[in-house]
Structure 1
Amino acid sequence: MTQQRTALSRRWFLNATLVAASVPVAAACGAPSIATAPEPTSNGAAPETEVRLTALDERLAEIENRHAVRLGVLAHAPGSGRTYTHRGDERFAMCSTFKVYAAAGILQLESQGRLRLDDTVAVDPGDIVVNSPVTSENQGRVMTYAQLCEAALTRSDNTAGNLLLRRLGGPDAVTTLARSVDDHATRLDRWEPELNDAARGDERDTTTAAGLARGYRELLLGSALDPARQRILTAWMRASTTSEARMRAGLPSGWVAADKSGGGYFATLNDAGVVWSPDGEPLVLVILSDTTTGDVDAPFENAPVVDTTAALVSAMGAVP
């Protein structure tokens, strides 16, 4: 899903210590309180620890008020185990962020020998839906599963997303895959473009920042995919052209991202993935947003996602 309206197409919460120790941190503003350094776990990995960053809380509240949006946020630094969350368990329309799970599902089928990435799929003119820049140019022809995954992740092509869903067995397959990667929030119920309706109070086709962060972390940094296929998925997501004005616009110079954007009615704008600092340290970031005005046709605005990204990277980077 892109920014243009005509192009529309449950719970991971870290079991961790809520901290009370206060130390100065150079964050977006003020001096938030954070946890002291955690002890390593038995396997050498840093335990997951929630951090309370007061200045970051205030900064996100300011962004929400200024732009009349609701933000669902989770930032997790695997190296330190630190996690910050804001409305992490509140539901948002997931929109095109589902396409990461769809592509991962295809890679899992390929790893099981049930398909090849160079197997072809007919692109029937009747399959074409809005916001399908790649498949529209290939209607009446065939595309490989690799090409469909690439189109879905780099250009957010909706028809490509539907064709991947068709091979997986429909939207329920995304819900099943999400559960397999410890995302107990995400549910996909419909196809493109109806899944972008984002009607208030409708839990269909929704996710949470906490759930999506858990799933994306397992796919991009964990063991849900073997290393070779994890590299393929990461490469597709790094090549995305749809988040240049969102998460990527808020990253400091030298940072790189493997992310997926999404958007729908009620000014829903999402961006989620993993970003890496110049020295290679990963940070899982999920930013979900929608309008608080109640206007189904509220205009899209990238600034809340951009500003939130910048605030998260600055604050999390300052945590010792």
Structure 2
Amino acid sequence: MLIERNNPVSMNDRLGSRRGQVHPRRWLAAGAAVLTLAGLGSYAFGTATGGAPAFVLDLEEVGKRPTPPLFQADCSAQPAALQAELSRIAASFEGQVGIAVTKAGCDWTVGARLDQHFPQQSVSKLWVAMSVLDAVDNGRMRLDQQITITPRDLTLFNQPLQWEVLDKGVIARPVQMLMANALSLSDNTANDRLLWTVGGPNHVRAFLKSREIAGIRFGPGERLLQSAAAGLTWSPELAAGRNFEQARARLPKEVREAALAKYVADPMDGATPAGMAQALARLAKGELLSEQSTKLLLDTMGKSRSGPMRLKAGLPPGWKAFHKTGTGQELGSLATGYNDVAVVEAPDGSYYGVAVLIGQTHQPIRARMEMMQSVSAALARWHELRTS
């Protein structure tokens, strides 16, 4: 079986070749003041472990929880056999992995390391998308609303919009397009513009609280999160070209190792497998967003181009996965935050929330993907044996 790295088609590929070169002076002129991580402490921008939150949540602009449509599920099958298989998969994988499966409408969750926090990385784009759709539901935003993007908005790593932004200086894109690119292409700049337009990290945290979504932390945004994990202090010029990667490469190895180890041990964007799977099951039931927004979000996740060989590849014909991947930083052979989470739909209409979160591993990409495929395949076998 051929296993390839993710290679999403960028927005620039669809728009045509870029018409100019990078203009670093123009970009630097547009840069904002330097942001620093100094003095932030244990997660002054997140939910600190063992202490009170270092931020105040404002629920006023978060929509009320919708009244979900009638949802019925057959919960007669006991998940003991599935639990045993998921435990075996986790134990045989060489690395720190959390797994969770929950059936929408049922009160059980099975897996491994269910309550341990793992780095989300781009999985956290789901919470931004939900917060944006909640704002659409309550009239604060529109799907066709144009959002401007300038060089000061550029972030890190995968950001297909960057060359057009640097060429033109400013572009505008509708909310729905930015959301689709954030979820399908994992575009960091598209996601950050949505994040700050909807109200920033505190607003997303307020949304999570309003929906009583447990086990989920939301970090400070892509730039500060990735800088902290790398051992760097963020400044706007790091977003130009490969400046971030070059600055990271100049750091002493021990600095990078310490920063990455600190992040993985207690991630500021951490999520528990149980919390993630249960939230996805509730999304499928229509408990988190309006019926229209739920359908739009699932349709968008179902069209994702990232991670085709992760959870999705383990499902047999007739099954569907509406998923979001996450991929963290690497240091030598150490990979961190390698994830896939999904709403999985069985042919009979049953829904499952599924989360596979790898905190860290030295296993190659193929082994990581095959482990994820074994989780979704185990779920499908268990379901079919009990419904045949």
Do both share a fold (TM > 0.5)?
yes
Q: CA deviation at 1:56?
A: 4.7
Give yes or no for the alignment of 1:286 onto 2:355: yes
**Which structure has more helix as a fraction of its residues?**
2
Greater alpha carbon shift after TM alignment, 138-147 vs 213-222: 213-222
Q: CA deviation at 1:128?
A: 2.1
Give yes or no for the alignment of 1:92 onto 2:118: yes
Distance 1:205 1:158 in 2: 15
Give yes or no for the alignment of 1:210 onto 2:240: no
Pick aligned residue for 2:371 from 295, 300, 304: 304
Greater alpha carbon shift after TM alignment, 139-148 vs 164-173: 164-173
Distance 2:278 2:189 in 1: 27
Give the counterpart letter for 2:187 in structure 1. Answer: D
Q: TM-score, normalised by structure 1?
A: 0.76
- 1:244 aligned counterpart, secondary structure: coil
Q: CA deviation at 1:310?
A: 1.4
Q: TM-score, normalised by structure 2?
A: 0.64
Distance 2:213 2:313 in 1: 27
Distance 1:60 1:78 in 2: 18
Task: Structure 2: give runs of 5+ residues left out of the alignment.
Answer: 8-46, 48-69, 230-259, 330-334
Q: 1:92-114: CA deviations, max 9, x gaps?
A: 00111111111111111112211
Distance 1:279 1:195 in 2: 41
Distance 2:121 2:101 in 1: 20
Partner of residue 23, structure 2: none
Q: Kindly report structure 1 stretches of 4+ aligned residues shifted beyond 6 Å.
A: 47-50
Partner of residue 80, structure 2: 53
Give the counterpart letter for 1:287 in structure 2. Answer: V
Distance 2:267 2:77 in 1: 27
Partner of residue 38, structure 1: none
Partner of residue 190, structure 2: 160
Q: Is the 8 A contact 2:6 2:307 kept in 1?
A: no
Give the counterpart letter for 1:244 in structure 2. Answer: P
Partner of residue 215, structure 2: 185
Give yes or no for the alignment of 1:172 onto 2:202: yes
Distance 1:116 1:259 in 2: 24
Q: Is the 8 A contact 2:328 2:337 kept in 1?
A: yes
- 2:307 aligned counterpart, secondary structure: coil
Q: Is the 8 A contact 2:264 2:359 kept in 1?
A: no
- 1:302 aligned counterpart, secondary structure: helix
Partner of residue 242, structure 1: 306
Give the counterpart letter for 1:92 in structure 2. Answer: F
Between Structure 1 and Structure 2, how many residues are aligned? Answer: 277
Q: Is the 8 A contact 1:181 1:214 kept in 2?
A: no
Distance 1:121 1:146 in 2: 10
Q: Is the 8 A contact 2:312 2:321 kept in 1?
A: yes
Q: 1:216-266: CA deviations, max 9, x gaps?
A: 222332222111111111111111111211011111112111111111134
Partner of residue 97, structure 2: 71
Greater alpha carbon shift after TM alignment, 93-102 vs 307-316: 307-316
Distance 2:158 2:360 in 1: 25
CA RMSD of the aligned region, Å? 2.8
Identity within the alignment, %:
27
CA 1:3–1:299: 2 relative to 1, 3 Å: farther
Distance 1:55 1:142 in 2: 47
Q: Is the 8 A contact 2:86 2:111 kept in 1?
A: no
Q: CA deviation at 1:319?
A: 4.0
Q: Is the 8 A contact 2:104 2:282 kept in 1?
A: no
CA 1:47–1:277: 2 relative to 1, 3 Å: closer
In our comparison, the structure showing a higher alpha carbon Rg is 2
Give yes or no for the alignment of 1:268 onto 2:330: no
Mapping for residues 20-59 of structure 1, pairs under 5 Å:
45=72, 51=78, 53=80, 56-57=83-84, 59=85
Give the counterpart letter for 1:107 in structure 2. Answer: L
Give the counterpart letter for 2:153 in structure 1. Answer: D
Q: CA deviation at 1:125?
A: 2.3
Q: Is the 8 A contact 2:192 2:222 kept in 1?
A: yes
- 1:264 aligned counterpart, secondary structure: coil
Give the counterpart letter for 1:118 in structure 2. Answer: D
CA 1:141–1:215: 2 relative to 1, 3 Å: same
Q: Is the 8 A contact 1:182 1:214 kept in 2?
A: no
Partner of residue 225, structure 2: 195
Q: Is the 8 A contact 1:188 1:204 kept in 2?
A: yes
Greater alpha carbon shift after TM alignment, 160-169 vs 274-283: 274-283
CA 1:75–1:319: 2 relative to 1, 3 Å: farther
Distance 2:341 2:127 in 1: 12
- 1:283 aligned counterpart, secondary structure: strand
Partner of residue 317, structure 2: 253
Q: Is the 8 A contact 1:49 1:83 kept in 2?
A: no
CA 1:123–1:190: 2 relative to 1, 3 Å: same
CA 1:44–1:272: 2 relative to 1, 3 Å: closer
Distance 1:45 1:165 in 2: 34
